[in-house]
Amino acid sequence: MQAHIKDVVREMTVASDEDRITFPEVVQALAKAGVERYHADLVVATRTYFMPDGAFEVVESLVPSGAAPADLDLAAVADAVAAIQSGAIQYREFCARITAAGCVGYLVSLIGRRVIYYGRTGDSHTEWFPGAQR
């Protein structure tokens, strides 16, 4: 991965963790840099960013509060998504809420225009980007 792209993914991670940037702004910056997708591991507290050619960069991120329960509460994840989309909460609170709902990670597909949240048992919830074609 090129150095300037590494700088972008690191800055997007820090800016998110510090509640200085919104998800749409992150997506826009990553897409402009050519990032195809990224994975947020809420247990290990890392984000891994992937380029179309297979190059990747792992960046340390914030650690959510508490351990995720065994069952994924799909309604609670959807509620947290709605809250962050409306601006009622920011990223740190969002991570705490989805972790409390049983989410241990999520995959953001910029090219697929969706986010897949998953729990410890493999249950998942797919959230499409606003306006995305399904």
Q: Which CATH superfamily is domain 3-121 in?
A: YdfO-like (3.30.1810.10)
Predicted confidence at residue 66, as pLDDT, reads 76
CA distance 104 to 25: 23
% residues pLDDT > 70 (the chain): 98
Model pLDDT for residues 4-38, shown as the tens digit of each residue: 999 999 999 999 999 999 988 999 999 999 999 99
3-class SS of residue 11? helix
Q: What are the residue boundaries of the structural domains of the chain, listed by start?
A: 3-121
